[in-house]
Copies of this chain bind each other. A is one copy, B any other.
Amino acid sequence: MKWGLPVATVERLPRYLRCIELLPPDQPTISSKDLARLSNMNAAGVRKDLSLLGSFGIRGVGYPVDELAARIRKALGLTRDRDVVVVGVGNLGSALANYGGFGKRGFRIVGLYDADPSKIGSTVAGIVVRPVGSLARDAMELDIAVAIIATPAKAAQQVATLLSKAGVPSILNFAPTVLNITGNTYLRQVDLATELQILSFYLGGDR
């Protein structure tokens, strides 16, 4: 536990939020049972998670949808915009820079960085790619909340160390490698193979 909510709850809140955002705009409430079904959870788990956001469910009715969304956004710190940079502007970095799902959730891409001279100065998603060497200085001037690492695996550790030393508060690493960082930078690892492994379960075949 950290910051007052269990890690597992924090990881489930975005999923609940996503399900709520997809409800018909005129739906006033949602039951824990319905939210559980939409989010692939069980109803008791949903109720336990949401009870940590305060007491606002109505017995026999459910949660007011607007208040539920507002409480989740507040708990996750989504009520303000966050500035994001992407390091590594290959296919993945370019895809992330262009990804439609970030901006509308309040995550603004404000900088792109690469080590490849042929990419520096080019424009991706409306942003001019800057040399990775200028990242440390830029980090002091910008208010970077999250740095996304989308470099090749072998370059990721060096970039992570640089970001951590520059005081960037959080790193999201897409490079398929394990990073070690010290200091106050919070690191999350994205493993795109995880989703395939979950799908594999439902394919059966050797159980």
Contact = CB atoms under 8 A, between A and B. Distances in A.
A100 interface: yes
Interface string A126-163: 00000000000000000001100000010000000000
Contacts of A42: 6, 8
B101 A193 contact: yes
A3 B205 CA distance: 12
Interface centre among A41, A45, A197 (most CB of B within 10 A): A197
A204 interface: yes
A76 interface: yes
Q: Which of A90, A170, A199, A202 counts the most B-chain CB atoms under 10 A from its CB?
A: A199
A80 B207 contact: no
Contact of A191 (B18, B82, B84, B169): B18
Given A18-B191, A197-B78, A202 B3 contact: yes
A192 B101 contact: yes
Interface stretch (A9-17, A27-35, A111-119): A9-17
Given A3-B207, A8-B42, 17 more contacts: A5-B201, A6-B42, A18-B191, A77-B201, A77-B207, A82-B196, A82-B203, A84-B196, A95-B95, A96-B192, A99-B176, A105-B197, A145-B203, A146-B203, A170-B203, A186-B202, A190-B195
